[in-house]
């Protein structure tokens, strides 16, 4: 990777700071189906990473996107796992993570949000705010991640532009500050009005559709006077809306945006590639570059300190031909060079980074050097799990990623006893990726572990991958438990004697007591107040 500063004889920490400053690392988040994967592909198209959007066709004639590589994703048209991609745009290096929208996979999305500096939130223009939208805005706020809002699918009939914004104010308490307003109502998307100081229109960007939205939509730029002449009332409406917003104080303010009080808004059609370049330019201009982060002891790790990184995702089976396991790290500080030996904080063991990649769909590119903000995949990193830290020099460890409270539980068995060895191996693999949590106890034994999930679709991913990657047919039986609490060895015996309760050990050693329902839990908490029963962090409860 060449850098614009590499020819200048700058000090190495100066160069490091420059490299960090030109990075933008963000997640694309939303309620299912708002168009994240389509937008991700549109961004890749604008960065010239791909020549045509929707190049791969899914089943039933539905187009599937490059980031949705898994068979299950292609067949259903949903994302079940997050995917990272990196590209250069102008002077910037963009690291983008497309996340799954379905709440069953929210733990994956949450892990991604621990690794990025900003988020792009999509809202479907017709549907407005949906349950996951609200939850994700909350998570972003809790984590202090600034959010850029994209109101997508403006090519289809939907709500009025300002109505959608009012909904954001009322239900999220965040002030939306549009940078662009749509010219033309939802369903008649002609272009964008660029808002300047005090809401005055500075320019009209008119888009032209391309066949199926497969290529970049040509843009024409007009002055406000020319826009008025071309579009008449439609332009006047947009210009008036812009002034109304200013009167209500809804103009962009960089400080308030970075503090999470306001969110810049762009209206777009990911499918037609309208507004996509404007989003990219906004990310470059407004999204924050990587910052340092606090370690477990609360000490800051600055981006210019020696190399350190957090693992936020582990994924195997991305490539059935290779069958390898990739751990994705986000670099926090320092320069990464492929081949350098780093320390794995959780085990204290050295880890040789011989194989480092960026991944895009099924394509992989070797990474030789990387900088703060970059997302890099490490191949065959068997010991690495989400939340782990890598570093060089003096030890640093970043806070672990809290695991969600599972609410669905099921026993998994191999259909044929002869496949047990494979089954064991596959289970370990999926467990370490964090696809589900795996629970065991002496009574049930090892042949039939209990899977714990935030949502039942995680089980489907497990059975599909058991079959697809490991050739093991499995049987899944749901268990009548609805919630879990953390407990300890001293309480376990008493808990196991109770009806509707069973204690398990999770792979990370945590003891979990499962309860048939919340009334059972309430009763036991009341009757036996000495028992240890702690709430698991985060999640959907
Ligand atoms: N009309 C229209 N359709 C769109 C637009 N963007 C996406 N779609 C369609 O909306 C559907 C969902 O798009 P995806 O990109 O898969 O949505 P997603 O947010 O990635 O969905 P999950 O990953 O499952 O949460 C697909 O049929 C897309 O073709 C758009 O701007 N306009
Ligand atoms: Mg998707």
Burial category of 532 from C-beta neighbours within 10 Å (exposed 0-12, middle 13-18, buried 19 and up): middle
Burial category of 402 from C-beta neighbours within 10 Å (exposed 0-12, middle 13-18, buried 19 and up): middle
**By 3-state DSSP, what share of the chain in percent is helix, strand and coil, each rounded to 5?**
30, 30, 40
DSSP 239-274: HHHHHHHHHTT-S--HHHHHTTSEEEEEE-BTTTTB
Q: Ligand 1 atom closest to Cα of 34?
A: 19
- With bands split at pLDDT 50, 70 and 90, how would you rate the model's confidence at 55? very low
78 lines ligand 1 (CB under 6 A): yes
pTM of structure:
0.89
Residue 67 has pLDDT above 70, yes or no: no
Q: How confident is the model over 507-526, as pLDDT tens digits?
A: 989 999 999 999 999 999 99
Q: How far is the CA of 81 from the centre of ligand 1 (A)?
A: 16
Specify the residue for token string 């808990």.
495
Residue 318 has pLDDT above 70, yes or no: no
Q: Ligand 1 atom closest to Cα of 269?
A: 31
3-state secondary structure (DSSP) of residue 169: helix
32 lines ligand 1 (CB under 6 A): yes
217 lines ligand 1 (CB under 6 A): no
Handedness of CA 407, 413, 414, 420 (dihedral sign): positive
**Measuring from atom 8 of ligand 1, which residue has the nearest CA?**
35
**Measuring from atom 30 of ligand 1, which residue has the nearest CA?**
153
Contact 340, 307 (CB under 8 A): yes
3-state secondary structure (DSSP) of residue 363: strand
Contact 360, 44 (CB under 8 A): yes
Output the six-digit token pair for 137: 């805005």
Q: How far is the CA of 68 from the centre of ligand 2 (A)?
A: 7
* 381 vs 96: which has the higher pLDDT: 96
Cβ atoms within 10 Å, residue 301? 22
**Which pLDDT score, from 0 to 100, does residue 11 have?**
72
76 lines ligand 1 (CB under 6 A): no
Q: Ligand 1 atom closest to Cα of 156?
A: 1
Rounded CA-CA distance 276/89 in Å is 13
Residue environment code for 75-109, b if the CB has 16+ CB neighbours within 10 A, otherwise e: ebbbbbbbbbbbbebeebbbbbbbbbbbbbbbbbb
Contact 393, 430 (CB under 8 A): no
**Which pLDDT score, from 0 to 100, does residue 7 have?**
42
Q: How far is the CA of 33 from the centre of ligand 2 (A)?
A: 7
104 lines ligand 1 (CB under 6 A): no
């Amino acid at each position: 990777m060449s850098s614009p500063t590499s020819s200048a004889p700058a000090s190495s920490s100066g160069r490091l700071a420059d490299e960090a400053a030109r990075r933008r690392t963000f997640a694309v988040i939303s309620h299912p189906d708002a168009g994240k994967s389509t937008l991700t592909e549109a961004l890749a198209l604008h960065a010239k990473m791909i020549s045509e959007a929707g190049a791969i066709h899914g089943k039933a004639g539905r187009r599937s996107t490059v980031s949705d590589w898994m068979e299950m994703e292609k067949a259903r048209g949903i994302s079940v796992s997050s995917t990272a991609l990196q590209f250069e745009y102008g002077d910037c290096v963009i690291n983008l993570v497309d996340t799954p929208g379905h709440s069953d996979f929210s733990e994956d999305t949450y892990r991604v949000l621990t690794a990025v500096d900003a988020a792009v939130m999509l809202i479907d223009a017709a549907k407005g705010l949906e349950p996951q939208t609200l939850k994700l805005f909350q998570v972003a706020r809790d984590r202090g991640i600034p959010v850029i809002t994209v109101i997508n699918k403006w090519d289809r009939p939907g709500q009025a532009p300002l109505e959608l914004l009012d909904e954001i104010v009322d239900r999220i308490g965040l002030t939306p500050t549009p940078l662009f307003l749509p010219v033309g109502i939802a369903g008649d998307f002609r272009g964008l009005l660029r808002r300047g100081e005090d809401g005055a229109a500075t320019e009209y960007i008119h888009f032209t559709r391309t066949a199926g939205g497969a290529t970049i939509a040509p843009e024409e730029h007009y002055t406000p006077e020319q826009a008025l002449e071309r579009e008449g009332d439609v332009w006047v409406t947009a210009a008036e809306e812009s002034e109304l917003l200013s009167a209500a104080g809804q103009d962009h303010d960089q400080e308030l945006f970075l503090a999470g009080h306001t969110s810049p808004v762009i209206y777009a059609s990911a499918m037609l590639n309208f507004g996509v370049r404007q989003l990219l330019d906004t990310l470059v201009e407004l999204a924050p570059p990587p910052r340092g982060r606090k370690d477990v002891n609360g000490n800051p790790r600055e981006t210019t300190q020696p190399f350190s990184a957090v693992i936020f995702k582990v994924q195997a089976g991305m490539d059935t031909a290779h069958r390898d396991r990739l751990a994705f790290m986000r670099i926090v500080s320092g320069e990464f060079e492929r081949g350098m030996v780093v320390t794995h904080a959780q085990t204290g063991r050295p880890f040789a980074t011989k194989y480092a990649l960026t991944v895009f769909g099924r394509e992989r590119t070797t990474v030789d050097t990387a900088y703060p903000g970059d997302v890099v995949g490490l191949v065959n990193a068997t010991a690495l799990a989400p939340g782990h830290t890598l570093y060089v020099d003096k030890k640093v460890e970043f806070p672990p990623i809290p695991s969600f409270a599972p609410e669905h539980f099921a026993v998994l068995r191999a259909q044929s006893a002869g496949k047990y060895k494979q089954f064991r191996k596959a289970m370990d693999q999926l467990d370490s990726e964090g696809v589900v949590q795996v629970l065991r106890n002496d009574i049930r034994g090892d042949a039939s572990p209990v899977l714990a999930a935030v949502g039942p679709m995680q089980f489907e991913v497990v059975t599909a991958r058991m079959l697809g990657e490991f050739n093991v047919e499995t049987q899944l039986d749901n268990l009548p438990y609805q919630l879990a609490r953390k407990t300890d060895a001293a309480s376990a015996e008493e808990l196991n004697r109770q009806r509707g309760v069973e204690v398990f050990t999770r792979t990370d050693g945590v003891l979990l007591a499962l309860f048939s329902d919340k009334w059972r839990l309430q009763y036991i908490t009341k009757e036996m107040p000495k028992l240890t029963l702690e709430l698991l962090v985060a999640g959907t409860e």
